[in-house]
Structures are given as structure tokens and as C-alpha cells.
Chain A
Amino acid sequence: EAQVTQNPRYLITVTGKKLTVTCSQNMNHEYMSWYRQDPGLGLRQIYYSMNVEVTDKGDVPEGYKVSRKEKRNFPLILESPSPNQTSLYFCASSIIGEPQHFGDGTRLSIL
């Protein structure tokens, strides 16, 4: 089954403790992206990647890092999480120029 898989789906952690949210897709898509979703603000793009070793900032990249060492994986790294990064996070992938497919989300709570 074609899918975008995120892990973990839920995480409660504390300020300053580094965490990584993994994202994997099995559709051989070149493009991958991370979004955060907050009430009243909709989805906002954090980072995206057009291919292996190619990443670019989205609209809200501060406090986040990404890497794209393999085509199928695009982890989101929070080096020193803060409470304002409490949010619902989505990973997406696509063939470039086509609609993005989304994972089911990761809910992060940072205390």
C-alpha cells in the first residue's frame, strides 16, 4: 500500500530534550515536506526537499532541522524543543509537480 509513515504518532517530552520525528514514504517520490498544524493558523510549511541532499526552508523553519540522506526518509529534528513547538506535525511526499500525499500526523507536546 502506498503510504507516508510517521513515527511516533504521539509524544510528550520536556523542554530542551532533543527529539526526532521520522518520516518514510514507499512511493519513490522525489519531493518530501514537513508541516505543522495549529488551531486558527492552518498548515504551515517547515522544510521541504526536492531530492536527496537537497533541502529548503519553508515558512516556519526556526527551531527545526531536517536531513535527506535517502530518498524514502525525511526526518524532522528538534535539537532543543520548546513549548511553542507543541503542535500537530505532518509529513508529505509527491512526484514533483503533483499533489502531495500526507501522513497521519504526529502530535507533539513539549512541557
Chain B
Amino acid sequence: GESVGLHLPTLSVQEGDNSIINCAYSNSASDYFIWYKQESGKGPQFIIDIRSNMDKRQGQRVTVLLNKTVKHLSLQIAATQPGDSAVYFCAEGFQKLVFGTGTRLLVSP
């Protein structure tokens, strides 16, 4: 079946480093992707999204890259801060969202 997956379960970085979280998807017809951040005890929080007619989109300290050739999505966080520590999910779709299993980002001072 279709799936959205993540390469690494945990990513540990130092404060100030840039972080890159990766995601692979299998449905070549996917046309909308979202990154969510989930902190302990809270629901997923929208970070940034991208549509399939784009290959890059930037927000505040975050960039999402989409490579449709290899069906790969990445989230880059610049100058990572301790407050960025959380689980990050990629998701695909509009009404029927399909989530990856998540990557835990640990930021040490």
C-alpha cells in the first residue's frame, strides 16, 4: 500500500547546527506534503507545506525540499535551538492525511 516513511528515528544535534530531517514517500501521484512538529503532551503543529509543482519552499528558519524523481522530502532547520526539540512528522494528502512514523530531534546546548 501507499506509505510515507522516515529514514531515521532520532536525530541529535548541537544548538546552532543546521538540522535535516528526511522523508520518503511511495505514491508518485502525491501532490501535497506537510511537515508537523509534535512536542510532548501536545498535538501536531503545522510547520510548513509544499505542493508538487514546487521543489523548494522557505519559511522562518525552515526550508522544505521536494525531489519528485526519487520521491523524497526533507525539512531543514537552520540554527537549531533547544526549543526545536520535538518529534517531526511528514504527511501527505489533503483530506486523507497519511503520516510518517516521525523523527525525534534532540538539541543539546
Contact = CB atoms under 8 A, between A and B. Distances in A.
Interface of A: 4, 31, 33, 35, 40-45, 48, 50, 56, 58-59, 90, 92, 96-97, 99-105
Contacts of B98: 45, 59
B43 A105 contact: yes
Nearest to A90: B43
Contacts of B102: 42
Contact of A101 (B46, B94, B95): B46
Contact of A45 (B36, B89, B96, B101): B96
Nearest to B87: A42
Given A90-B43, A103-B43, A104-B43, A96 B99 contact: no
Interface of B: 34, 36, 41-46, 49, 89, 91, 94-102
29 contacts: A35-B97, A42-B99, A43-B89, A43-B97, A43-B99, A44-B99, A45-B96, A45-B97, A50-B95, A58-B96, A59-B98, A90-B43, A90-B44, A92-B43, A96-B94, A96-B95, A97-B94, A99-B34, A100-B46, A101-B46, A102-B36, A102-B43, A102-B44, A102-B45, A103-B43, A104-B43, A105-B41, A105-B42, A105-B43
A90 B52 CA distance: 27
A57 to B, nearest CB: 10
A105 B41 CA distance: 8
Contacts, number: 52
A44 B99 CA distance: 7
A99 B101 CA distance: 18
A42 B101 contact: yes
Contacts of A33: 95, 97
B100 A42 contact: yes
A50 B97 CA distance: 13
A56 B36 CA distance: 23
A100 B101 contact: no
B42 A104 contact: yes
